[in-house]
């Protein structure tokens, strides 16, 4: 992916750029808002990582300008304000995701993958049936089958599976799952999502079949083809 990072703090920028390049992305770096706005409007990127507090032109202003000029490149906002209470303002200004500093690079990479919707195992306009290997989810009948056997899923398990399938092959973090399935932004004190995943795993990965739902240590989960 070709990415643009607009970040004035040198150490954060270096760290993020290093992580992006190690993950195989091409990343440009703008040190202030004016440079960032210039690059974002003149070059083509798959996604933009935008710091909220920037010298010269503030992050939200850049975002609004881009959206006003019909540039719909996915934008992930980084906020050093340390709180989620300005998240709504960021989303309202047209960002696709919002990440509070400090964040882990895994979280950032996972979210970039999610906003660009580049999922290798999936073609773009989603049909009403999502498939991965012998796992099948029908969005109309809300039914799930593994190797032809119908599975009984709880509503939340169904939602988790649907999200995982839509991001098949990608790393999905616990926070992303919480936000996607429960739609509340909060800090759980425990890894509450793990219990849900383990219940889901027991159903979709019965003994004898190759496991599809993988735990990515230190990051989250990945639903992927066992051969991949």
Partner 1 sequence: MRLSPFSWFIIGLSTLMLAGVTLFAAVSYRETRNAMISEFQAALREETTALETIYQLQGHKALIEVVTARANANLDDMGNEAVAVYLLTDAKGKKLAGNLAYWPTTEQAVDESSLQFIDPATGDTIVAVVFLLYADQRLLVGRRAVFEQVGQHLWRNYALLVGAVLFVSVGGVWVFTRALRQRLGYISATAERIRRGHLDERIPQSRRRDEIEALIGQLNLMLDQVEKLMEHARTTSSAIAHDLRHPISRLRNELEVLVGETQEPSTRARVETLTADIDSILRIFQAVLRLGRLEAGAYALQLEEAELTELVVDAISLYEPIAENMGRHIHFSGMPATWRIDRDLVFQAVANLLENALSYGAGDILVQVEGRGVIIRDHGEGIAAEDIERVLEPFVRLDESRSSAGSGLGLSLVRAIMEAHGGTLALADAHPGLCATLDFTPVVRPKLVTGASRPKPEA
Q: Where does 23-70 have alpha helices with state H?
A: 33-42, 59-68
The 8-class DSSP code of residue 89 comes to: H
26-30 vs 2-6, strand pairing mode: parallel
Degrees (nearest 5) of the Cα angle 149, 151, 157?
Answer: 150
Report in angstroms how near the CB of residue 73 gets to partner 1 at its nearest.
26
The 8-class DSSP code of residue 126 comes to: -
Report the distance separating Cα 61 and Cα 84, nearest Å.
Answer: 19
> Could you say whether residue 152 binds partner 1 (CB under 8 A)?
no
Q: Which is nearer to partner 1, 1 or 106 (CB)?
A: 106
> Could you say whether residue 124 binds partner 1 (CB under 8 A)?
no
Q: Which is nearer to partner 1, 117 or 199 (CB)?
A: 199
Report the distance separating Cα 94 and Cα 47, nearest Å.
Answer: 13
Element (H, E) at 132: strand 129-132
Report in angstroms how near the CB of residue 105 gets to partner 1 at its nearest.
6
Report in angstroms how near the CB of residue 217 gets to partner 1 at its nearest.
6
Report the distance separating Cα 43 and Cα 189, nearest Å.
Answer: 42
Binding residue for partner 1 (CB under 8 A) from 140, 141, 217, 227? 217
Report the distance separating Cα 134 and Cα 155, nearest Å.
Answer: 21
> Could you say whether residue 149 binds partner 1 (CB under 8 A)?
no
Interactions with partner 1, residue window 47-106 (CB under 8 A): 82-86, 88, 101-102, 104-106
Report in angstroms how near the CB of residue 212 gets to partner 1 at its nearest.
20
Report in angstroms how near the CB of residue 85 gets to partner 1 at its nearest.
5
Stretch that binds partner 1, among 39-47, 165-173, 181-189, 220-228 (CB under 8 A): 181-189
> Could you say whether residue 139 binds partner 1 (CB under 8 A)?
no
> Could you say whether residue 202 binds partner 1 (CB under 8 A)?
no
Letter string b/e over residues 160-191, b meaning 16 or more CB atoms within 10 A of that residue's CB: bbbbbbbbbbbbbbbbbbbbbbeeeeeeeeee
Binding residue for partner 1 (CB under 8 A) from 68, 124, 128, 187? 187
Residues of the shown chain interacting with partner 1 in the complex, contacts defined by CB under 8 A: 11, 15, 18-19, 22, 82-86, 88, 101-102, 104-106, 155-156, 159, 178, 182-190, 192, 195-196, 199, 217-218
């Amino acid at each position: 992916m070709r990415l643009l990072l607009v970040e004035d703090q040198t150490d954060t920028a270096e760290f993020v750029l290093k992580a992006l390049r190690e993950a195989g992305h091409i990343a440009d770096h703008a040190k202030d808002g004016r440079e960032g706005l210039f690059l974002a409007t003149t070059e083509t990127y798959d996604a933009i990582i935008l710091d909220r507090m920037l010298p010269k032109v503030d992050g939200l202003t850049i975002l609004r300008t881009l959206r006003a000029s019909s540039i719909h490149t996915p934008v992930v906002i980084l906020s050093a304000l340390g709180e989620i209470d300005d998240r709504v303002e960021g989303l309202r200004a047209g960002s696709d995701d919002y990440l509070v500093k400090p964040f882990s690079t895994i979280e950032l990479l996972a979210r970039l993958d999610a906003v660009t919707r580049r999922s290798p195992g999936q073609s773009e306009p989603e049909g009403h049936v999502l498939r991965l290997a012998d796992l099948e989810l029908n969005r109309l009948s809300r039914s799930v089958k593994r190797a032809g056997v119908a599975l009984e899923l709880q509503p939340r398990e169904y939602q988790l599976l649907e999200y995982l399938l839509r991001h098949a092959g990608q790393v999905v973090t616990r926070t992303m799952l919480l936000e996607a399935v429960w739609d509340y932004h909060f800090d759980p004190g425990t890894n509450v999502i793990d219990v849900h995943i383990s219940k889901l795993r027991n159903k979709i990965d019965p003994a004898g079949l190759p496991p599809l739902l993988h735990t990515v240590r230190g990051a989250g989960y990945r639903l992927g083809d066992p051969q991949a």
